[in-house]
C-alpha cells in the first residue's frame, strides 16, 4: 500500500491526506511544496488548495501514448494506449500482450518516472534500483552500485512504500 501524505493549506492548517503519488504531482505542478525531507506532508501554495486535487488520467492520456499500466501481479509495466474510453483503457504492453484496465491504473511515462519505484530485469530476475535517466533508459542497480543501461521493455515498477 502506498504511503499517505498530509495536506496543509497555505495557512498551515491540516486539510486532509492524499497518496504520495498525488503529492508528487502537486509539487511537480508547483501547486504545493514539501514541508520536510521525508516527504510526509505538503503545503499548498496560496490559492491552490481549493483546486480539484483528484487525478483525472483520461484527460491526460492520449491514443498511442507510452505509459506504465498495472497488471494483475501488482506491478506496472511499460505499454502504450491503443483505445481510450471513460471507464476503460486498452493497452498494448511492450512484451506483446494486451489488456484492459481502469484509467486510474495507467500512468503517463513522464509521470511514472516521478511517482514509481523501478526494477530492471536481468536474465531471470528483477533487481531493485534507481532510475537515473530515461533517454535512453539508464538504470542503476543497488547491487554493487554499477550503472546498467536498460531498455524500457526490461522495466517494471511499483508505488513507493
| Averaged pLDDT, 61-71 | 91
For residues 160 and 118, the answer to whether their CB atoms sit within 8 Å is no
Cα–Cα distance, 134 to 35 (Å, whole number): 28
Same fold, 57-108 and 114-159: yes
Task: For 51-79, give one letter per residue: b (16+ CB within 10 A) or e.
Answer: eebebebbeebeeebebbbbbeeebbbbb
Q: Look up the CATH number of domain 57-108.
A: 2.30.30.140
Which residues lie below 8 Å from residue 111, measured CB to CB, with a gap of 6+?
25, 60
Check pLDDT > 90 for residue 94.
yes
Stated pTM of the model:
0.64
**Domain limits, the chain:** 4-44, 57-108, 114-159
Give the sign of the dihedral formed by CA 76, CA 77, CA 80, CA 82: negative
pLDDT grade for 36, boundaries at 50, 70 and 90 = confident
Cβ neighbours of residue 149 under 8 Å, at least 6 residues apart? 136, 137, 138, 139
- Residues 113, 131: contact at Cβ < 8 Å? yes
Could you give the percent of the chain with pLDDT greater than 90?
25
pLDDT band at 105 (very low <50, low <70, confident <90, very high): very high
Identify the residue whose cell numbers are 506483446: 96
User: What is the rounded distance in angstroms from the CA atom of residue 134 to the CA atom of residue 142?
Assistant: 17
In the three-class reduction of DSSP (H, G, I as helix; E, B as strand; rest coil), residue 49 is classed as coil
pLDDT of 54 reads 45
Assigned CATH class of 114-159: mainly beta
Amino acid at each position: 500500500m502506498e504511503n499517505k501524505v498530509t495536506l496543509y493549506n497555505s495557512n498551515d492548517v491540516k486539510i486532509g491526506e492524499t497518496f504520495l503519488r498525488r503529492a508528487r504531482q502537486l509539487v511537480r505542478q508547483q501547486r504545493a511544496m514539501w514541508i520536510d525531507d521525508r516527504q510526509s506532508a505538503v503545503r499548498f501554495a496560496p490559492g491552490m488548495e481549493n483546486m480539484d486535487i483528484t487525478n483525472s488520467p483520461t484527460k491526460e492520456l492520449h491514443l498511442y501514448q507510452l505509459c506504465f499500466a498495472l497488471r494483475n501481479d501488482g506491478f506496472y509495466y511499460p505499454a502504450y494506449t491503443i483505445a481510450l474510453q471513460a471507464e476503460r483503457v486498452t493497452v498494448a504492453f511492450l512484451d506483446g500482450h494486451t489488456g484492459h484496465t481502469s484509467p486510474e491504473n495507467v500512468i503517463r511515462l513522464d509521470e511514472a518516472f516521478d511517482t514509481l519505484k523501478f526494477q530492471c530485469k536481468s536474465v531471470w530476475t528483477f533487481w531493485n534500483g534507481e532510475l537515473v535517466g530515461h533517454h535512453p533508459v539508464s538504470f542503476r542497480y543497488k547491487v554493487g552500485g554499477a550503472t546498467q543501461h536498460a531498455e524500457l521493455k526490461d522495466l517494471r515498477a511499483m508505488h513507493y512504500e
